[in-house]
């Protein structure tokens, strides 16, 4: 596996732990719960190796990674019943292939527009995070 010790996703550094909680490994990626939960259920799916762009991996790996992304989106739809699932893969300042999977709710934050990367409005207790993680894992 290709890793970069300076990368938040590769090194699993303190900043990564401040922003998200690891849920589990998938076929070609790792699933994280984003700690800021203004969009209940928001997660990140990060590719297992250190690449920046989707086109930098083989067709087979890309297909498996996108299966992971779709599987997580489908799971969040089941668990949280959002009106829409938004996905974003920006990586402008964090060069590691990852998708934000963001459930959106009618009359909720940013509905009808692009989600905020980190609105810093809604945080849960450790017990509440664990309950969300348990709900997600039960449906994966």
| Domain residue ranges of the chain, discontinuous segments joined by + | 8-139
Question: b/e per residue, 42-71, with b = 16+ CB within 10 A?
Answer: bbbbbbbbbbeeeeebeeebbebbeebbeb
53 Cβ partners below 8 Å, 6+ apart? 91, 97
Kindly report, residue by residue over 64-123, the tens digit of the pLDDT. Answer: 999 999 999 999 999 999 999 999 998 778 889 999 999 999 998 899 888 888 898 999
pTM: 0.94
Report which DSSP code applies to 84: E
CATH value of 8-139 in 3.40.50.720, 3.50.50.60, 3.30.428.10, 3.30.200.20: 3.30.428.10
């Amino acid at each position: 596996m290709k890793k970069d010790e300076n990368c938040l996703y590769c090194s699993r550094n303190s900043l990564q732990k401040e922003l998200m909680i690891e849920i589990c490994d998938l076929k070609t990626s790792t699933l994280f719960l984003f700690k800021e939960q203004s969009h209940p259920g928001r997660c990140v799916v990060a590719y297992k190796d250190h690449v920046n762009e989707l086109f930098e991996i083989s067709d087979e790996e890309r297909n498996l990674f996108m299966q992971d992304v779709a599987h997580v989106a489908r799971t969040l739809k089941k668990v949280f019943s959002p009106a829409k699932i938004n996905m974003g893969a920006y990586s402008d300042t964090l060069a590691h292939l990852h998708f934000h999977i963001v459930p959106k709710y009618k009359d909720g934050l940013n509905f009808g527009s692009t989600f905020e990367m980190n609105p810093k409005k809604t945080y849960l207790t450790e017990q509440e995070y664990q309950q969300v993680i348990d709900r997600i894992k039960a449906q994966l």
